[in-house]
Amino acid sequence: MTAESAAASASAAGPDAAAGPSGPGQEILAAFEAAKGFMPVHEGLALYAAATGAGALGLPLLEVGTYCGRSAILLADAARGAGVTALTVDHHRGSEEQQPGWEYHDPSVVDPEVGLMDTLPTFRRTLRRAGLEDHVVALVGRSPQVAAVWSGPLGLVFIDGGHTDEHANADYEGWAPHVVEGGLLVIHDVFPDPADGGQAPYRIYRRALASGAFTEVSVTDSLRVLRRTGAGI
């Protein structure tokens, strides 16, 4: 992201984005920073604020796209504080850009026995080190399959899964309907300028706004927080 677009994001966030719940404790923040993953601290703090606020609804907080658990630490700590549960949805075989030969491939999370990525063991170790195992339910499977059998309401849905149009739309269509009135839809890696990143998350963000069902709450670089204010998707 350019300096100009970062400044625009900060301006667009407005005063409501800076207000709200306090951040995570130092131990949780240290665990987040130590965990394998890609979310920067300032976006993580915005996610934590959203999760803490949504936790007041008394409903689970769900993440699509977990990788090794970096952002799940923040959702789990917010869930613990609210007395609710954090849910994570991931097949743990890695997204497109994490496969061999691609930019974000990490050979240390490849299972040598089957030759495929397996981030689940790292994810479990991440939660254990952070002392958060008891506050997370890991749903291991592909997002559309898990969504097809999920029927409960959710206070927050955080979409950070595959970045193709196929996967981003499937995540949105599968999980956004479960966000209750007043609940939050959070989308990561939203880049209006194609030079900054892939466009699939940006397109589902625009789709959510165009639906009339969601209203933007805050912008923190590539993280968008939307509130359900109407029916549909």
> What is the token pair recorded at 8?
């625009």
CB contact burial 104-137 (16+ within 10 A = b; e otherwise) = eeeeebbeeeeeebbbbebbbebbeebebeebbe
Q: Catalytic: 163?
A: yes
Q: 199 in helix, strand or coil?
A: coil
Return the sign of the alpha-carbon dihedral for residues 107, 130, 138, 226: negative
Catalytic hit among 92, 135, 163, 188: 163
The set of catalytic residues is: 163
